[in-house]
Structure 1
Amino acid sequence: MAVLQSTDLFLPTNIADGIVEKSKTGSTVAALSGQEPMRFGKTEIITFDDDLTAEFVEESAAKGSDDAKPGRVTAVPHKAVVQMRTSDEFLWEEEDYQLGVMTKYQEKCARALARGLDLGLYYRINPRTGNAIPAWANYLNSTTKRVEAGANADLDFEAAAGLVIGNGFSVNGVAFDPQYAWTLSTARYADGRKKYPELGLGNGLSSFEGVSAAVSTTTSAKAVDGDATDNKVRAILGDFSQGIRWGVQRSFPFRMLEFGDPDNQGRDLAGHNEILFRTEIVYGWYVFADRFAVIEDKVA
């Protein structure tokens, strides 16, 4: 029986219904903060945090001036790429087989790009390596509003919300790590009753205390579900409607390359009977970190 194979992919010629994979979580930024149209390149965003004031002026009296002035920040483009090598025997297979592989590739590719948005915007992390990108100065986790997780997750939430609200901003979204969502959903009173039975086990948590919510392992900076890397952040809450400005500036949904060494592996595709699938997207974003607070475990 012919087998399609590469260093990372082994699929039989006859595909059963569906491909078994580990369930993975997507983007909390996309779930909680709507994207907006953006042209390619650096995008200037006008800010106006200072309040204007009214002035009562007596007849014939001089009018005063207001010191409030608009400012500006810059949303910077960031390109993300997802690509995969596989055997060129893929080109010989029947259409149903090819469609099955491409459908699954597109699903996994979309998820990878969505998770990349969280990891870059929250933590300036390169998803492939798990390392921070020092040149990126604008990222959410630079906020100084931080609460150490204690014995009561709901009280942690209130304390973090207080830091944001006390600074004059709204709390309209919260991103939970799955572990923390479970802790919150299973919190109990002294008599054993669950405090929040409507949350189930926290898997599909979509709101808490009237605040829109989303759950993903990207909240704790895990580049891949199950990855041991964990920065101990358990929740991010704040003004997701105005505190994050992001959009897709360009997208290149799919290319199939048959020649050259496009992923710098040191081997030519045609020379090794391989092809490469590639998808690219250019995000643009700016985050107002002072509009957010994080709940985190104590870092040893």
Structure 2
Amino acid sequence: MAILDSKTLSAVLPRNIADGMIKKTLSTSTVAKLSGQEPMKFGTVDILRFNNTVRAEFVEENADKSSTVAAWDKVTAVPHKAQVTIRTSNEFMWADEDYQLGVLDQVAEAGANALSRALDMGLYHRVNPHTGNVIASWTNYLTATKKTVTQGSADADADIRQAIGLVIEDGTPITGLALDPKMAFALANLQCLSGGKPNGMPRYPELGFGTDITSFLGVKTAVGTTISGLPEAAKDTGVRAIVGDFADGIRWGVQRDLPLELIPYGDPDGQGDLKRKNQIALRLEIVYGWYVMEDRFALIKTAAVGG
């Protein structure tokens, strides 16, 4: 039996494909690699933050006990829907199950990758991946942080340490490092110094060429092109690294899973009538919810756009 029924116009996404899409969406994003998602209901979600440090007290016999005045504030995680619409020939509807499975595998691969990158593009840069433009109405995004280091030397190590210093001086822990591939390669390409000059010996030989760094000096690390925003962004954001508290400084979750919608009629994407073009459209959607505490992060930017 065909997976897509040309008579009833129904679509059934095989469980193994659906599970694979969800898994990949949550594993290829640098946000997802460094910051674990949490269960989140649909819609705006209020998150309470305890903003006082609780301290214990030693009390002598017959002495009075003191207390800590608790102070709470509230932030709100807002839902953001991302979608991918893919057109294909309507002959797909008449094909056998093996052919349809092959197409669905490709749709799943492309869709999961696009939706994964969308999480980073929105949460980091508030950029719409489809247009490359900034969504001006979004006011909560990570790169709004005021803590910025401008690349001032050829030593990527020094730049990272300086950025870490900006975060740590406020008492924020460092739990993650996100690197653009250019920064990862620069870090991996560093040499040890002798008399202040490179001696040809790799400083961090365990990094290889920097293509798949998962840890740097004990800090959980992820590498991805979404750090710079390219190729989706209309222009390079100039961000080459993000360091900070990925564990508690980002609160995010998937509010709705990935469905597959078969659209046989109309013009769902502004590209012309489907029937006229002998096409159908397959649409995938996901709803993320997130809130970023941007003051818990620091950026490293290129000199051209540095802070």
TM-score (norm 2): 0.84
| Partners of 1:205 and 1:213 within 8 A in 2 | yes
Deviation at 1:48, TM superposition (A): 0.8
- TM-superposition CA deviations, 1:149-179 (whole Å, max 9, x none): 1221111111111111111111111110011
**Equivalent in 233, 254, 258 of residue 260 of structure 2:** 254
| Deviation at residue 273 of structure 1 after TM alignment | 1.2
Q: 1:45 to 1:223 in 2, by over 3 A?
A: farther
Task: Please list every run of 5 or more consecutive structure 1 residues that lacks an aligned counterpart in the other structure.
Answer: 1-24
Instruction: Write the distance in 2 (CA, Å) between the matches of 1:250 and 1:102.
Output: 20
Equivalence for 1:117: 119
For residue 109 of structure 2, give the secondary structure of its aligned residue in structure 1.
helix
Letter in 1 for 2:98: D
Describe how 1:1-300 pairs up with structure 2 within 5 A.
26-54=28-56, 66-149=68-151, 150-189=153-192, 190-224=198-232, 229-265=235-271, 267-299=272-304
Closer, same or farther: CA 207–65 of 1 in aligned 2, 3 Å: closer
- SS at structure 2 position matched to 1:116: helix
| CA apart distance, 1:68 | 3.5
Quick one: which amino acid aligns to residue 71 of structure 1? D
Contact 1:258/1:275, CA 8 A, preserved across alignment:
yes
The amino acid that maps onto 1:205 is I
Matched-pair contact (CA < 8 Å) for 1:185–1:201: yes
1:128/1:223 contact within 8 Å kept: no
- Cα offset for 1:70? 1.1
Deviation of 1:53 after TM superposition, in Å, equals 4.3
Q: Distance in 2 between matches of 1:271 and 1:297?
A: 48
Q: 1:247, 1:285 within 8 Å by CA — same for their partners in 2?
A: yes
Q: Matched residue pairs, number?
A: 273
Q: Aligned to 1:34, what secondary structure does the other structure show? A: coil
Alpha-carbon distance in structure 2 between the residues aligned to 1:222 and 1:188: 28
Tell me how far 1:251 sits from its aligned partner. 2.2
SS of the residue 1:171 aligns to: coil
Question: Which shows bigger deviation, 252-261 or 131-140?
Answer: 252-261
Distance apart, 1:57 and its partner CA: 7.2
CA offset digits 1:60-109 (Å, max 9, x no partner): 88766644411110000000000111211112233322211210110110
CA displacement at 1:252 relative to structure 2: 3.6
Preserved contact between residue 47 and residue 73 of structure 1 (Cα < 8 Å):
yes
Do 1:119 and 1:223's aligned partners in 2 also have CA atoms closer than 8 Å? no
* Structure 1 CA distance for aligned equivalents of residues 51 and 164 of structure 2: 20
Distance in 2, Cα, partners of 1:56 & 1:184: 47
Equivalents in 1 of 2:234, 2:203: separation in Å? 30
Amino acid across the alignment from 1:141 = T
- Tell me the distance in 1 between the aligned counterparts of 2:142 and 2:175: 16
Distance between the aligned counterparts of 2:274 and 2:97, measured in 1? 22
Cα deviations across residues 109-147 of structure 1 (Å, max 9, x unaligned)?
001001000000001110001111111110000111111
The percent identity for this pair of structures is 53
Secondary structure (helix, strand or coil) at the match of 1:272 reads coil
Partner of 1:10: none
> 2:258 and 2:275 mapped to 1: Cα distance?
23
Q: What's the C-alpha RMSD, in Å, of the aligned pairs?
A: 2.0
TM-score by length of 1: 0.85
Q: Which amino acid aligns with 2:266?
A: G
